[in-house]
Each structure stands twice: as structure tokens, then as C-alpha cells.
């Protein structure tokens, strides 16, 4: 597989992931009236789960096409999840003095994300 082809797979996946992130953040931002940024939390959780599944599939099945790994893990999940938005939203909570919300959101995001990577990998390895 050529370097240029790999870049195309990643770029195409990233474009799709970015659009899906916008749509989910838009939907959750307009339907859930809570202080917590649910859209960002949900896309980061979903992306964490998907990346756990993809990496476990690539380990479990040696014939797993690397193009799909690049497309889904680096491309789609890279465009879908958003650390910068998480960081900005966390900063805004601190700036406005919402310390309890900040610690809850940051802890839930980090530990929930890592837990969902584990869950995705565990599901593939055990089923």
C-alpha cells in the first residue's frame, strides 16, 4: 500500500468523521438542555469504543485490511472525536467557576473514554 493511498483513506475517513461529529453535537446540543456538553462527551465515548473495536479486530484477525484500520481508527475516529473541543469546554467551566461540573466532566471523559476502549477491545476478543 502506497503512502499516498494511506493518506487518502485517512483523509476520507476524517471527513466523514468530522461531519458525523458535527451532526451529533448539533443534535445533542439542541435536544438536551443540560449544562454538561453532552455532544462532545458522546462523540468521544463512541469514538473511544470504536477505536477499541478496530484495534482488537486488527490483532485478532491478521488478515484485517490495514486500509480499514487507517480509514476507521486514524481517519474516522480522528475526525469524529475532539480533544480540542473537550479542552475548550473544560476551560469555560473553570473560567465561570463551575469546578464541580469541570471535575465531573473531565473525570467522566477521561475514565469513560479509556473504559470504552477497553470495552470495545474486550468485546472483540471474547466474542
Instruction: Give the Cβ contact number of residue 125 at 10 Å.
Output: 12
Mean pLDDT across 12-35? 85
Query: What is this structure's pTM?
Result: 0.90
pLDDT value for 38: 86
Distance CA 122, CA 112 (A): 15
H or E element: which one contains 14?
helix 3-31
pLDDT in tens, 93-126: 999 999 999 999 999 999 999 999 999 999 999 9
Q: Work out the number of other CB atoms within 10 angstroms of the CB of residue 63.
A: 5
The residues near 80 (Cβ < 8 Å, ≥ 6 apart) are: 17, 18, 20, 21, 43, 46, 47, 50
Amino acid at each position: 500500500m502506497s503512502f499516498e493511498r494511506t493518506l487518502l483513506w485517512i483523509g476520507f475517513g476524517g471527513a466523514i468523521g468530522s461531519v458525523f461529529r458535527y451532526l451529533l453535537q448539533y443534535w445533542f446540543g439542541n435536544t438536551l438542555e443540560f449544562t454538561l456538553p453532552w455532544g462532545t462527551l458522546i462523540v468521544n465515548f463512541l469514538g473511544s469504543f470504536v477505536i477499541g473495536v478496530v484495534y482488537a479486530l486488527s490483532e485478532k484477525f491478521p488478515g484485517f485490511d490495514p486500509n480499514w484500520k487507517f480509514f476507521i481508527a486514524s481517519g474516522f475516529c480522528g475526525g469524529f472525536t475532539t480533544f480540542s473541543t473537550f479542552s475548550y469546554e473544560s476551560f469555560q467551566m473553570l473560567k465561570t467557576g463551575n469546578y464541580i461540573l469541570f471535575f465531573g466532566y473531565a473525570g467522566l471523559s477521561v475514565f469513560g473514554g479509556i473504559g470504552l476502549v477497553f470495552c470495545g477491545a474486550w468485546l472483540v476478543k471474547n466474542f
